Chains A and B, each alone.
Chain A
Amino acid sequence: MTVRLAPTVAVGPQSPRPAARPVPDLSQVRTILRVILRRSTRGRMIAGRSGKPRGLIFVLVMYGVLGGFLSMLAFAHPDVFTFSLVMGAYTFMVAGMTMVGESSTMLFDPAENDILGHRPIHPRTLLLAKSLGMISLTLALGLAINLFPMFAGLATRGARWWFPLAHVVSLTLLVLFCSAAVVFVYALLARMVSRRTFDTVASWSQVVVTAVLIVSYQLVPRLMDRMQGFRIDAANPILLFLPPTWFAAVTQVLLGADTGTRTMAMAAAAVLATPVIGWAALRYLAGDYARQLSALGETPVAAKPEPHAIRPRRGIRVDALLAPWLRDPVERGAFRLAAAYLGRDRDVRMRIYPQLALFVVFPVISIIDRSQGSRFGVLLSVYFAATIPASMMMTLKASPHHAAADLFRYAPIAGTASIFHGVRKASLVLLVVPALIISGSILWFGLPDHHALLTALPALLALPTLSLLTGLSGDYIPLSLPPTTGRQGAINVGTMLIGGIGGIVFVVLGIIGDRAHWFWNLIVAEVAALAILHPLLLRGIRARRLSREGE
């Protein structure tokens, strides 16, 4: 039988063929950028008790407070180069880490492919618009951090009245450099690896980028120590290889404080590196970025076994070992859910894995640089370990699959305590324990004084109890919020400020107890206190009832 198809129905005259558009199309860039910024500022990053969004303002205020603390440095009267370098190094780390954290959502949102993938947008235009979006966000954060320091810098030696202006210029260049570098790395990865390996390589490359950012930041105070007191000599050749110093040199040049060859060379590196890297990313790698983006959103049509198939029961073995600790089936389910997202979800991995770099970098630095004493690495390792549970649980609250979390609302669960404990235990077992083993091993083999490790004991004993604190605020429903711009930055700063304080308190107590020779008495007292506090916190969390919309 022959089937005759009806002729195509003409709905109207065809639109005239448009004239060739320039690439990148700046009008499209403007339009896309406007939407990106609107989404960022309207995003529901952190909701208050009233449920009203606090948005980007909340994050900016937090960064501003951090900058306020840092600006105190200016009143120790360092020279302007040293001050600019410290501020630049700090901004470099914070802005870079934010960029790394946000880039995953901003550059590779599979859902977005359905919206933009079929539009007549050149990949270079799209990449430029997204890069500008990232730059705007990071610049806002950078400005928030530097708001107080840019004026406090007037108190430094050699500063002129236009220091704030010069500082803003170098800061802008620094942010542009960070953005260009991150986009370049992603675009390069998109060219080099297949879709199957992209996710894994991308998340681990973020760990490396984070490690580099921290090392760059940490080298600055160490250089200050090794040089003449509280001053860094711009003539030191090692500075040529540290990007933050390039931007401090820009400030120097703009202030007319130093126009020597070396300073000029560093300033030139700052001015030239950004456009070169940015141009390379946009000119040569944009096509591969577009391919990778469309590959991320593709859906296989056939049910063929895939070479990257998940090994059955891989995650189950871990919780089978922990069966006595995960007796509640809901808790066990939440543990598995968190484990699966930690191991497989691109977005979660890219937000959490970079933190693991801290557990290698700080112990290594403390081994190389003994000037701070052997307890430095122990102190920071425990501090960061204490921030992990809160950080992971807050990170796991957001996911592109947030609509699926409605399941927790219509499933017969009275409260979110079991879910909270499942995710919390996953963070302890799958992140805190491995991180402490890594940093502990590095310190054990690297430090001659093993006694320093003992001072971590009070904090380690308190870790499970400290991890309960986040359960006291509201319903904990994992993966239930849409990922929004700036959220990860807020989590990083929030957990650094609040989450780790408990860890620090216990380590300091350990150090004091050790020096005053009542360490073991302290341990006994702590165990007794925790034996009371832990069940109380558990009871408080269990007593919370899952609220319904409208309650």
Chain B
Amino acid sequence: MIVLEQLAKSYGAQEAVRGISLEIPTGQLVGLLGPNGAGKSTTIKMLTGMLLPTSGTAQVEGHDIVRDPLEVKRLVGYVPESGAVFEALTAREYLRFVAALYQIPEKEADLRIDRFAAFFDLAPADLSGKPLSAFSKGMRQKVVITSALLHNPKTVFFDEPLNGLDANAALSFKTLITSLARDGKTIVYCSHILDVVERVCERVIIIHEGRIVADGTVQALRDQAGEPTLERVFNKLTATENLLARAEEFARVLSQ
């Protein structure tokens, strides 16, 4: 369960998030959308305890993000957009390291790592035999996703989790997150791939210029905006001009 009340973050004069209020019940899979610079990452960073809000409050699983950030961090998992890992470590070393940060005993961590490795088709030789720098982007992303779920968090934030994943791994992942939501985990899914959000998420929140401009089920948003797809809804709510016409005009100029 996540509750935000007038949550805001400013960097000097620049307001990144302008008083967002919302409630995400336990077990819901929510898509958090917005154009670049809309405030999605800032919101997620505040909800994961990385960033201190300027004003407003938020609670994750009943814990205040300002007063009790450690407990919040214990209960959430996070897949950052960067997908960065410590590349000098092997996958197993990296995951053990993450497990240690969450106080998971090494034996238990190894069991969980093996379970995830089997799910993501990571061979034992890959897991322990070579540094993460030698992994492909997709393999590295599997390790990052594993590291976010290793401690069995109640709430998970995914920021562009499909980055680099092949079609099979992406399909497995989508199935995994819907199953996790069914099992009672709260999932916030940030992505620019709207088709996936449309298919996977039961609720979509669109942020634009630090404010919520839409919140509802995919069907409700489509009906409300009178558009056939989520992509068109998104475009209608967040674009300042007719992008399709602009693209056509640009292509025409380029060919001259």
Q: In the complex, which residue of chain A has the Cβ closest to the Cβ of B87? A: A401
| B-contacting 9-mer, from A218-226, A380-388, A402-410 | A402-410
Quote the shortest CB–CB distance from A108 to chain B (angstroms).
13
Asked if A373 is at the interface (CB within 8 A of a chain B CB), the reply is no
Q: Identify which of A301, A329, A336 gathers the most chain B CB atoms within 10 Å of its CB.
A: A329
Quote the shortest CB–CB distance from B166 to chain A (angstroms).
11
Within the assembled complex, what's the spacing in Å between the Cα atoms of A406 and B90? Answer: 18
Within the complex, which residue of B71, B97, B137 is in contact with A299, where a contact is CB–CB below 8 Å? B137
Are B48 and A410 within 8 A (Cβ)?
Answer: yes
B-side contacts of A21, CB under 8 Å: none
Asked if A341 is at the interface (CB within 8 A of a chain B CB), the reply is yes
Are B82 and A403 within 8 A (Cβ)?
Answer: yes
Label chain A's interface by main secondary structure: loop
Asked if B49 is at the interface (CB within 8 A of a chain A CB), the reply is yes
Are A303 and B123 within 8 A (Cβ)?
Answer: yes
Within the assembled complex, what's the spacing in Å between the Cα atoms of A303 and B73? Answer: 33
A-side contacts of B106, CB under 8 Å: 329
Asked if A287 is at the interface (CB within 8 A of a chain B CB), the reply is no
Within the assembled complex, what's the spacing in Å between the Cα atoms of A315 and B147? Answer: 21
B-side contacts of A309, CB under 8 Å: 125, 129-130
B-side contacts of A22, CB under 8 Å: none
B-side contacts of A299, CB under 8 Å: 134-137
Give the total number of A-B pairs whose CB atoms are below 8 A apart: 129
Within the assembled complex, what's the spacing in Å between the Cα atoms of A306 and B50? Answer: 38
| A-contacting 9-mer, from B173-181, B186-194, B248-256 | B248-256
Q: In the complex, which residue of chain B has the Cβ closest to the Cβ of A414? A: B70
Are A410 and B134 within 8 A (Cβ)?
Answer: no
Residues of B within 8 A of A (CB-CB), count: 53
Quote the shortest CB–CB distance from B21 to chain A (angstroms).
20
Asked if B101 is at the interface (CB within 8 A of a chain A CB), the reply is yes
Are B84 and A550 within 8 A (Cβ)?
Answer: no
A-side contacts of B147, CB under 8 Å: 407
Segment 106-125 of B: residues with Cβ below 8 Å from A: 106, 122-123, 125
Are B9 and A550 within 8 A (Cβ)?
Answer: yes
B-side contacts of A35, CB under 8 Å: none
Quote the shortest CB–CB distance from B194 to chain A (angstroms).
24
A-side contacts of B49, CB under 8 Å: 409-410, 548
B-side contacts of A401, CB under 8 Å: 84-88
Interface string of A406-441 (1 = CB under 8 A from B): 111111111000000000000000000000000000
Interface string of B131-161 (1 = CB under 8 A from A): 1001111010000000100000000000000
Are B101 and A330 within 8 A (Cβ)?
Answer: yes
Tell me whether A306 and B78 are in contact in the complex, defined as CB-CB below 8 angstroms, given that A332-B100, A341-B88, A407-B98 are known contacts: no
Within the assembled complex, what's the spacing in Å between the Cα atoms of A401 and B85? Answer: 7
Are A548 and B136 within 8 A (Cβ)?
Answer: no
Segment 301-320 of A: residues with Cβ below 8 Å from B: 301, 303, 305-306, 309-310, 312, 315
Are A412 and B73 within 8 A (Cβ)?
Answer: yes
Q: In the complex, which residue of chain A has the Cβ closest to the Cβ of B126? A: A303
Interface string of A394-406 (1 = CB under 8 A from B): 0000010111101
Within the assembled complex, what's the spacing in Å between the Cα atoms of A522 and B236? Answer: 79
Are B48 and A336 within 8 A (Cβ)?
Answer: no
Within the assembled complex, what's the spacing in Å between the Cα atoms of A403 and B85? Answer: 8
Within the complex, which residue of A10, A312, A337, A412 is in contact with B102, where a contact is CB–CB below 8 Å? A412
Are A345 and B101 within 8 A (Cβ)?
Answer: no
A-side contacts of B97, CB under 8 Å: 333, 336-337
Within the complex, which residue of B52, B102, B255 is in contact with A11, where a contact is CB–CB below 8 Å? B255
Quote the shortest CB–CB distance from B102 to chain A (angstroms).
6
Are B137 and A310 within 8 A (Cβ)?
Answer: no
Asked if B224 is at the interface (CB within 8 A of a chain A CB), the reply is no
Quote the shortest CB–CB distance from B145 to chain A (angstroms).
14
Are B73 and A410 within 8 A (Cβ)?
Answer: yes
Within the assembled complex, what's the spacing in Å between the Cα atoms of A551 and B207? Answer: 25
Tell me whether A404 and B251 are in contact in the complex, defined as CB-CB below 8 angstroms, given that A301-B136, A305-B129, A306-B130 are known contacts: no
A-side contacts of B172, CB under 8 Å: none
B-side contacts of A414, CB under 8 Å: 70
Within the assembled complex, what's the spacing in Å between the Cα atoms of A549 and B11? Answer: 10
Are A411 and B73 within 8 A (Cβ)?
Answer: yes
B-side contacts of A479, CB under 8 Å: 86
A-side contacts of B126, CB under 8 Å: 303
Interface string of A349-375 (1 = CB under 8 A from B): 000000000000000000000000000
Interface string of B66-92 (1 = CB under 8 A from A): 000111011010101010111111101
Are B50 and A406 within 8 A (Cβ)?
Answer: yes
Q: In the complex, which residue of chain B has the Cβ closest to the Cβ of A305? A: B125
Asked if A300 is at the interface (CB within 8 A of a chain B CB), the reply is yes
Quote the shortest CB–CB distance from B53 to chain A (angstroms).
8
Asked if A322 is at the interface (CB within 8 A of a chain B CB), the reply is no
Are A549 and B130 within 8 A (Cβ)?
Answer: no
Within the assembled complex, what's the spacing in Å between the Cα atoms of A337 and B131? Answer: 12
Within the assembled complex, what's the spacing in Å between the Cα atoms of A348 and B106? Answer: 27
Q: In the complex, which residue of chain A has the Cβ closest to the Cβ of B121? A: A303
B-side contacts of A402, CB under 8 Å: 84
B-side contacts of A341, CB under 8 Å: 86, 88
Are B129 and A410 within 8 A (Cβ)?
Answer: no
Asked if B128 is at the interface (CB within 8 A of a chain A CB), the reply is yes
B-side contacts of A407, CB under 8 Å: 98, 101, 147
Q: In the complex, which residue of chain A has the Cβ closest to the Cβ of B74? A: A412
Asked if A42 is at the interface (CB within 8 A of a chain B CB), the reply is no
Are B101 and A404 within 8 A (Cβ)?
Answer: no
Are A404 and B70 within 8 A (Cβ)?
Answer: no
Quote the shortest CB–CB distance from B202 to chain A (angstroms).
25
Are B129 and A548 within 8 A (Cβ)?
Answer: no
Within the assembled complex, what's the spacing in Å between the Cα atoms of A10 and B252? Answer: 11
Within the assembled complex, what's the spacing in Å between the Cα atoms of A310 and B76? Answer: 32
Are A306 and B101 within 8 A (Cβ)?
Answer: no
Within the assembled complex, what's the spacing in Å between the Cα atoms of A403 and B130? Answer: 21
Within the assembled complex, what's the spacing in Å between the Cα atoms of A410 and B156? Answer: 12
Tell me whether A411 and B88 are in contact in the complex, defined as CB-CB below 8 angstroms, given that A309-B130, A549-B52 are known contacts: no
Are B255 and A340 within 8 A (Cβ)?
Answer: no
Q: Identify which of B88, B126, B131, B251 gathers the most chain A CB atoms within 10 Å of its CB.
A: B88
Within the assembled complex, what's the spacing in Å between the Cα atoms of A340 and B80? Answer: 23
Besides A340-B88, A345-B88, 15 new A-B residue pairs in contact (Cβ under 8 A), listed by A number: A299-B135, A301-B136, A303-B139, A305-B129, A312-B90, A329-B106, A333-B100, A336-B96, A345-B87, A401-B86, A401-B88, A404-B84, A407-B101, A410-B48, A548-B50
Which 7 interchain pairs have the tightest Cβ spacing? A403-B84, A333-B100, A550-B52, A404-B84, A412-B73, A411-B101, A309-B129
A residues near B, CB below 8 A? Answer: 10-13, 299-301, 303, 305-306, 309-310, 312, 315, 329-330, 332-333, 336-337, 340-341, 344-345, 348, 399, 401-404, 406-414, 479, 548-551
23 contacts between A and B (CB under 8 A): A10-B255, A12-B254, A12-B255, A299-B137, A303-B122, A305-B129, A309-B125, A329-B103, A332-B100, A333-B96, A337-B86, A344-B88, A401-B86, A401-B87, A401-B88, A404-B85, A407-B101, A408-B101, A410-B73, A410-B76, A412-B71, A412-B102, A549-B45
